[in-house]
C-alpha cells in the first residue's frame, strides 16, 4: 500500500481508502452486515488503514459496522474519517431531500451544522465507532443557514478536547474553503472526481494544490459505472440511488463502455482489472491525494486495494487521457 500526508498535518492515509457509504445500505438498495465487516477487514490486511464513513450512511448503520470491523485492531494503526452536518432526526437547517431509511420509513434529510448539533453528532459517532477520537472530521455539505465561523469554532472545540484530530470539508468549492479556513485550518476537501466526472478540475482542485489542501476523491469508480460491468439494461434494486442518475442512462452507459473497451487492452497487458486501472489513474492525477472506494464484500475490497500494484507510465496516462477526450469526457 502507499500512504500520503494529508495537507500540512502529520496525518497519513492509505491512497486507497475504504469508503463505507454502500456498507450502510442506505441509497444502495441493501447491505449485508457480515459481508461489509469482512470487506473492511480484508482491505486492512492489505494495508488499507483509512476508513471513511458518515452518520447519514444507513442512519448510523455504517458507523456501527466500521466500529465492529475494527475491533481488535490497534487504534493508532487506523485513520477513522467521518462527517457531520446531515440530520435525518432533526428538522433544522437547510432541507436537502426526502428519502427512506433502511426499513423503508420516510425520512427528511437536512443539512445542518449548528454548534450544538455538531457537539451532539460527534458524541454519537464516537459511540457508534467505539473509539474516543476521530482522525479527520468533515462537514458533509455546506450549510447555508449557519455561519461558517460557528460551525468551525465548534470543530475547533472538539479538537481542543481531543475528540477530533483534524478538520476537513466535503463538497466545498474554492471560495467556501477559503472562508472556512478563516476560522480553523482545513486540511482536506472530499469531492466527487472520476474519469467521467471532472468538473472540480476547473477551480477547486487547482485551489487545493495551491493551498496544500488534500483532495479525497469520492466516487472514483462513478458508483460502479467504470467497472465495465454495468450494461444499458442493468436492473437496479429498489432504493438504489443510481436509478435515474445521469451517469446511468442507457446512452451514458454505452458511451462509457465504449471508452472502457479502448483501455481494456492496457489493463490486460498489466494483468489488472479495469477497476484497478481506473483507480491507479485516479490517484496519479494532479492534486488527487486519496481515492475513496466502496466494496460490498471481501473480494471487491481486495481487488481495490491491489490497484496500487498497477504502475502507469507518463505515456500510458497520456493514452488514457487521449481516449477519454475522444470519448467525449
Three cell numbers written together for 152:
468551525
At 9, give phi and psi (nearest 5°). Answer: -90, 180
Q: Which of 3, 44, 57, 234 is catalytic?
A: 57
Give the CA distances from residue 37 to residues 23, 69, 185, 217, 261, in Å, rounded to whole numbers and listed in that order.
8, 5, 33, 23, 33
Taking the C-alpha atoms of residue 289 and residue 277, their distance in angstroms, rounded to an integer, is 17
Taking the C-alpha atoms of residue 86 and residue 270, their distance in angstroms, rounded to an integer, is 41
Based on the residue annotation, tell me whether 234 is a catalytic residue of this protein: no
On the CB side of 178, CA atoms within 13 Å amount to 7
Alpha-helix residue ranges (DSSP H) falling in the chain = 33-45, 61-69, 115-129, 148-160, 174-180, 204-211, 250-269, 274-283, 298-305, 314-326
Taking the C-alpha atoms of residue 78 and residue 98, their distance in angstroms, rounded to an integer, is 34
- Tell me the chain's radius of gyration from C-alpha atoms: 19
At 191, give phi and psi (nearest 5°). Answer: -140, 155
Give catalytic residues, as residue numbers: 57
Amino acid at each position: 500500500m502507499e500512504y500520503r500526508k494529508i495537507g500540512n498535518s502529520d496525518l497519513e492515509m492509505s491512497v486507497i481508502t475504504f469508503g463505507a457509504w454502500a456498507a450502510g445500505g442506505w441509497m444502495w438498495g441493501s447491505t449485508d452486515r457480515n459481508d461489509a465487516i469482512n470487506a473492511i477487514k480484508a482491505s486492512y490486511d492489505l494495508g488499507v488503514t483509512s476508513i471513511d464513513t458518515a452518520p447519514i450512511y444507513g442512519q448510523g448503520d455504517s458507523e456501527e459496522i466500521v466500529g465492529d470491523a475494527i475491533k481488535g485492531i490497534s487504534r493508532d494503526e487506523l485513520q477513522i474519517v467521518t462527517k457531520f452536518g446531515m440530520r435525518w432526526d432533526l428538522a433544522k437547517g437547510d432541507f436537502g431531500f426526502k428519502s427512506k431509511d433502511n426499513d423503508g420509513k420516510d425520512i427528511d434529510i437536512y443539512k445542518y451544522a449548528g454548534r450544538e448539533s455538531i457537539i451532539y453528532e460527534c458524541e454519537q459517532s464516537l459511540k457508534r465507532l467505539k473509539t474516543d477520537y476521530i482522525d479527520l472530521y468533515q462537514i458533509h455539505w455546506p450549510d447555508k443557514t449557519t455561519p461558517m465561523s460557528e460551525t468551525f469554532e465548534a470543530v475547533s472545540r472538539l479538537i481542543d478536547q481531543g475528540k477530533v484530530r483534524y478538520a476537513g470539508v466535503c463538497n466545498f468549492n474554492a471560495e467556501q474553503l477559503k472562508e472556512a479556513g478563516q476560522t480553523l485550518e482545513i486540511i482536506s476537501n472530499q469531492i466527487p472526481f472520476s474519469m467521467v466526472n471532472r468538473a472540480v478540475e476547473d477551480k477547486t482542485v487547482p485551489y487545493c494544490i495551491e493551498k496544500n489542501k488534500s483532495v479525497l476523491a469520492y466516487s472514483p469508480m462513478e458508483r460502479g459505472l467504470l467497472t465495465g460491468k454495468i450494461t444499458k439494461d442493468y436492473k437496479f434494486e429498489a432504493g438504489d440511488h443510481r436509478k435515474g442518475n445521469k451517469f446511468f442512462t442507457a446512452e451514458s452507459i454505452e458511451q462509457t463502455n465504449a471508452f472502457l473497451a479502448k483501455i481494456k487492452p492496457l489493463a490486460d497487458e498489466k494483468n489488472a482489472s479495469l477497476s484497478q486501472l481506473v483507480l491507479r489513474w485516479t490517484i496519479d492525477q494532479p492534486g488527487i491525494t486519496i481515492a475513496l472506494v466502496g466494496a460490498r464484500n471481501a473480494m471487491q475490497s481486495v481487488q481495490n486495494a491491489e490497484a496500487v500494484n498497477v504502475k502507469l507510465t507518463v505515456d500510458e496516462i497520456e493514452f488514457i487521457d487521449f481516449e477519454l477526450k475522444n470519448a467525449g469526457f
